[in-house]
Each structure stands twice: as C-alpha cells, then as structure tokens.
Amino acid sequence: MPVDIRRLLIEADKPRETSTLELTQALCSVNGVDECDLVVTDVDARTETVKLTIKGPHINYSDLKKAMDDNGIAIKGIDEVNVVKARKSTQT
C-alpha cells in the first residue's frame, strides 16, 4: 500500500554561514513540498541547530534529503512524521 508523506518535523544542524532564507527556499522548491518553516533552537561557533517543519501533499524524501545535503545540512533526527494512504488516480 503506497503512502504519501505530508509533514515532517526534522531536527538538523546547519553551518552558520548558510542563509536560513536561501535554505528554506531551496527546501520549498523540492518536488511535493508546499511549505517549509525553520526555527533556530541553538547556536554555537560554527553551527546552528534548527527545527524544520516540511509540509506538502506528496513530499519526495529522497529529493528533500539531497537538497539538505547540497546545503550542508546534517539531519540529527526526524521527530514527527505524518503520512496518508496514497489516493488512486481517477483518470478515465
């Protein structure tokens, strides 16, 4: 039974020099993502710990992970996930 990922809450580390605005724009451009919220929860000399809330009708996790890797983001953990059964196509 296929499922669609609709929401992810991810805790991650990002380099301090990575712009939060550019990061959220890059993540929101991933196939299936409609919204990306970012909250900085901790700051040290070289990194920031962030909570990312990713929402969309069908989030492509592989593409999302690649976009995070491309921006130097290290996932610490996935704290919440929301999935739903994939709807069958109603093409006639």
Query: Are the C-beta atoms of residues 83 and 3 closer than 8 Å to each other?
Result: yes
The domain locations on the chain are 3-85
Query: Are the C-beta atoms of residues 69 and 91 closer than 8 Å to each other?
Result: no
**Which candidate, 6, 3, 18, places its Cα nearest to that of 68?**
18
Of the two residues 18 and 87, the one the predictor is more confident about is 18
With DSSP H G I counted as helix, E B as strand and the rest as coil, what are the percentages for the chain, rounded to 5? 20, 45, 35
- The CATH-assigned architecture of domain 3-85 is 2-Layer Sandwich (3.30)
Tokens of 65: 């992970």
pLDDT digits (tens, 9 = 90+) for 47-92: 999 999 999 999 999 999 999 999 999 999 999 999 999 877 655 4
pLDDT of residue 88: 73
Phi and psi dihedrals of 18, rounded to 5?
A: -75, 120
